[in-house]
Amino acid sequence: MSLIAAWDVLTRSEEGTISLGRAIGDSLSPGDAVLISGELGTGKTRLVQGIAAGLGTADRPRSPTFVLVNRHIGRLVLHHCDLYRLEGTAEVEELGLMERVDDGDVLAVEWPERARAALPEDAMEVTMKRGSGEEDRSITLTQNGPLSSRLLRAARSGFNAAKAES
Ligand SMILES: Nc1ncnc2c1ncn2[C@@H]1O[C@H](COP(=O)(O)OP(=O)(O)O)[C@@H](O)[C@H]1O
Ligand SMILES: [Mg+2]
């Protein structure tokens, strides 16, 4: 069993990022959390759309404008948060996300650095950056505990298998 600390992926279109998200969504287990950092327009919400598709949800996540969290129901219940407009950690604590995750739901969070202390410690962290081409995105995924380590490994093998098939 190989232990990887980080995995780098380069996507060249929004479809590539959605495919990566789908591999993550396919691999999620109860209690998993995915924390997605990156500037506006790097594709965080596209990645969440893939995650939701991988979980088999019927609706497509968008960037929440006024609410901090949207819920999507698939194989597991996904809570999608965008903390961009967040005023403080207390606001996230009030959402009760930790309790939901403890109960087996899963979490996808944009702008997690706004309230990192109020989010699960063991989480897969995804960092998205623009590359040299207009549609290039350099995406780094890291793990920091047993849950996120399992998720990272499963998502990587799922993504590579899907790529090999296409
Ligand atoms: N490789 C790529 N991955 C994701 N999005 C991309 C990519 N290339 C271009 N885009 C575009 O970048 C934008 C990303 O938007 P969005 O996912 O809402 O970003 P964020 O949530 O990070 O602000 C979309 O308009 C999408 O079409
Ligand atoms: Mg977004």
Complete domains list, the chain, with CATH: 12-137 (3.40.50.300)
Q: What region, left, alpha or beta, does residue 104 occupy, with left being phi > 0 and alpha being psi -120 to 50 degrees?
A: left
**DSSP 8-state code for residue 103:** T
Nearest Cα to Cα of residue 9 among 17, 154, 1, 47? 17
Report d(CA 161, CA 154) in Å as an integer.
11
Ligand 1 center–CA 134 separation, angstroms = 10
CB 149 within 8 A of CB 27: no
* pLDDT tens, per residue, the chain with 166 residues: 556 789 999 999 999 999 999 999 999 999 999 999 999 999 999 999 999 999 999 888 887 666 788 999 999 999 999 999 887 888 888 889 999 999 999 999 999 999 999 999 999 999 999 999 999 999 999 999 999 999 999 999 999 998 888 8
Name the residue of 37, 42, 134 whose CB sits within 8 Å of the most ligand 1 atoms, as the mutation to test its pocket.
Answer: 42
HEC readout, 149-166: HHHHHHHHHHHHHHHHHC
The pLDDT of residue 159 is 96
Residue of minimum CA distance from atom 6 in ligand 1: 14
The pLDDT of residue 2 is 56
Name the residue of 24, 44, 46 whose CB sits within 8 Å of the most ligand 1 atoms, as the mutation to test its pocket.
Answer: 46
- How many beta carbons lie within 10 A of that of residue 109, not counting itself? 31
The pLDDT of residue 64 is 67
Tokens describing residue 32: 């998993």
